[in-house]
Amino acid sequence: MQVSWKTLLEEIRNCTLCPLHEGRTQSVPGEGSPNAEIVFIGEGPGAEEDRLGRPFVGAAGKLLDQVLEALFIRREDVYIANIVKCRPPGNRVPQDEEANACLPYLRAQVALIKPKIIVCLGAIPAKYIIGPEIRITQDRGKWVERKGFLIMPTFHPAALLRDPRKKADLWEDFKQVRDMLARMH
Ligand code: URA
């Protein structure tokens, strides 16, 4: 049976399934349109996200906003979430147990939204959404189909902050997403 958004968001807000809840200011369920055709999935909340309870509002989020804007994709028309809903200490990578505890929430969100396209922002979401065999530098930009969803693995916007040469690749991947969606209409 499918849960309602209200129940799901309440569960995420009060979740204690993994130790990450101990360090959070608040959980970050995700935000955007419940009818989104594209869902973007990041790794986990950082300091700003933990403070505000919203995904991708720090430096990486500003970059994501810029790319979306340049492609005329409105942030309020898509849905943005993360593999884990609570901030890992010091922004470390989420551990398998944490990701696995949290993944049913993301699956429930995707089941409610029923997007056409899922974009994995970086190696961590690609690992959990597509599979551990994914190598982000080799496999980015290549469509994968899983359970009726078209999935695009690409770089995490934060990777661009560290290495601006990745910008052209991320841009190409996002353009592919925009063009694919246009073709699906
Ligand atoms: N990085 C992520 O992966 N998610 C966020 O929400 C913010 C930064």
Report how many domains make up the chain: 1
Would you say residue 1 has pLDDT above 80? no
User: Is the C-beta atom of 157 inside 6 A of ligand 1?
Assistant: no
Please compute the mean of the pLDDT values over residues 21-45 and round it to a whole number. Answer: 98
Q: At 13, is the secondary structure helix, strand, or coil?
A: helix
Please compute the mean of the pLDDT values over residues 47-65 and round it to a whole number. Answer: 98
Compute the distance from residue 157 Cα to the ligand 1 centre, in Å.
9
Q: Are 173 and 152 in contact (CB under 8 A)?
A: yes
Position 151 confidence tier, pLDDT thresholds 50, 70, 90? very high
Atom of ligand 1 nearest to the CA of 125: 3
Position 30 confidence tier, pLDDT thresholds 50, 70, 90? very high
Give residue 58's identity as a one-letter amino acid code: G
Residue to probe by mutation, ligand 1, list 156, 160, 162, 170, most atoms within 8 Å of CB? 156
Indicate which CATH number applies to the domain containing 85.
Answer: 3.40.470.10
Mean pLDDT of the chain: 97
Please compute the mean of the pLDDT values over residues 30-56 and round it to a whole number. Answer: 98
Domain that holds residue 97: 5-184
Would you say residue 119 has pLDDT above 80? yes
Atom of ligand 1 nearest to the CA of 82: 4
Distance CA 105, CA 103 (A): 5
DSSP symbol at 21: G
The fraction of the chain above a pLDDT of 90, given in percent, is 98
Atom of ligand 1 nearest to the CA of 54: 6
Distance CA 44, CA 60 (A): 12
DSSP state string for 52-115: HT-SS-SHHHHHHHHHHHHTT--GGGSEEEESSSSPPGGGPPPPHHHHHHHHHHHHHHHHHH--
Q: Which residues contact 64 (CB under 8 A, 6 or more apart)?
A: 40, 56, 80, 121, 157
User: Is the C-beta atom of 154 inside 6 A of ligand 1?
Assistant: no
User: Is the C-beta atom of 45 inside 6 A of ligand 1?
Assistant: yes
Position 50 confidence tier, pLDDT thresholds 50, 70, 90? very high
Please compute the mean of the pLDDT values over residues 47-69 and round it to a whole number. Answer: 97
Residue to probe by mutation, ligand 1, list 25, 39, 62, 82, most atoms within 8 Å of CB? 82
Helix then strand then coil, in percent of the chain rounded to 5, is 50, 15, 35
